[in-house]
Amino acid sequence: MDLLKQMNTSMKYIEENLTNEIDYKVVASIAYCSEYHFKRMFSFLTGITLSEYIRRRRLSLAAFELQNSNVKVIDVAMKYGYNSPDSFTRAFFNLHGVTPTEARNKGQHLKAYPFMTFQLSIRGGTEMDYRIEQKEAFNIVGIMKRVPIVFEGENQEITGMWQSLTMDKIEQLKKLSNVEPKGMIQASNNFSEGRMEEKGELDQYIGVATTQECSDDFTKLEVPALTWAIFESTGTFPNTLQETWGKIYSEWFPSSTYQVTEGPEIVSIKSKDLTSTSVKSEIWIPIKKNK
C-alpha cells in the first residue's frame, strides 16, 4: 500500500539520521501525514513508541562501535545524542545489561535492535463494518479522570468511575444527550507518549454527547467539527472491543485513504445481550484525508 511505502521511506530517513537530531515533523511529512497520525500508526504497528525505537537503534549502533573500534566512550555518547557519559551509561545499561566499558570485552552478550521496515500481511480476512460521518461541533459532558493506560482486560480506574455515578446523575446526563452518539458514552483523550508500551495515562470521560448547556456538577470537553470513522464491534466486553481497536490501527488505517486526527476516541455501547456477555458497541475515531 502507498502508506506503507511512504512509512518505509520515513524509516530510511530515520536510519540515515541516527547521529543527528531527528525532527518528528519531518519524519511524518515524508510519509505525507501529520506527526500525530505517524506516531499513532507507528505505535500500533510496532508495539513501541517512535522515540523508543530511535533510542534502541542508536544504542544498538553504539554497542557495535564499542565492540569493533577503539573510539572513546564519550565520543560514542556524543555521536548518538547523549550530552554526558553518565546519561549514556544509564541508557546503555538499561538496554544491554552491561556498561559501555564492559561492552568492549570479547564474548560479552549485547542486544541488537534491527532496522525496521513495514509490510502488509493478510491476517484472518475478517470483515470490519464501518461508516464515515461528518459532525458539527458538540460537547462531551460528564465526569473525567486521568487514568492509567490498560490494553487487556478491565481498567479498574474506569470501572470505578462508572461506579461513582449515581442513578440520579446518569438520568441527568441522559436528558442532556441530544446528538449522536446517543446515550451514555466513554471518550479517551490526551494520551501519554508511551501509549503503545502500556505506559502513561489518558483523560477518560464518561458522559454524553450534547449541544446543551450543562451544570457545574459536570466536566465539559469541547469537540470541534470533525469527520469520524465509526466501527462496529460485537462480542465479549471489553476484550472484543480492544481487539477491534487494534485492528483499526494495524489493518484499516494502513489500507485506507485516511489518517487519524486530533480529537477524542469515543466508545458508544449500543446494546447488550442480557443472556450472555455479548455487547454491541461503536468506536468513533476522528479522521482526515491523507495528504
Give the residue extent of every domain in the chain: 3-104, 130-289
Give the amino acid at 28. Answer: A
pLDDT tops 90 at residue 180: yes
Same-fold call for 3-104 versus 130-289: no
Which pLDDT belongs to residue 251? 80
pLDDT tops 80 at residue 125: no
Which pLDDT belongs to residue 189? 93
pLDDT tops 80 at residue 121: no
What rounded mean pLDDT belongs to the chain? 87
**CB 22, CB 42: distance < 8 Å:** no
**CB 115, CB 11: distance < 8 Å:** yes
Identify which has the larger pLDDT, 12 or 152. 12
Which pLDDT belongs to residue 214? 84
pLDDT tops 60 at residue 124: no
Which pLDDT belongs to residue 127? 65
d(CA 244, CA 240): 6
Does residue 238 have a cis bond before it (omega within 30 degrees)?
A: yes
Identify the CATH homologous superfamily for domain 3-104. Homeodomain-like (1.10.10.60)
Which pLDDT belongs to residue 163? 93
| CATH architecture of the domain with residue range 130-289 | Alpha-Beta Barrel (3.20)
Identify which has the larger pLDDT, 128 or 30. 30
Which pLDDT belongs to residue 142? 96
Q: What is the dihedral of CA 162, 165, 170, 171, to 10 degrees?
A: 150
Instruction: Sort residue 126 into left (φ over 0), alpha (ψ -120 to 50) or beta.
Output: beta
Which pLDDT belongs to residue 119? 72
Instruction: Please state the pTM of the whole predicted model.
Output: 0.74
Which pLDDT belongs to residue 77? 94
pLDDT tops 90 at residue 269: no
pLDDT tops 90 at residue 242: no
Identify which has the larger pLDDT, 131 or 250. 131
Q: At what angle do helices 35-46 and 50-68 cross, to 10 degrees?
A: 70
Identify which has the larger pLDDT, 139 or 274. 139
Rg (CA), the chain: 23
If 0-12 CB within 10 Å is exposed, 13-18 middle and 19+ buried, where does residue 78 land? middle
Which pLDDT belongs to residue 195? 57
Which pLDDT belongs to residue 111? 85
pLDDT tops 90 at residue 53: yes
Percent of the chain with pLDDT over 70: 91
Which pLDDT belongs to residue 122? 47
pLDDT digits (tens, 9 = 90+) for 65-109: 998 888 899 999 999 999 998 999 999 999 999 999 998 887 778
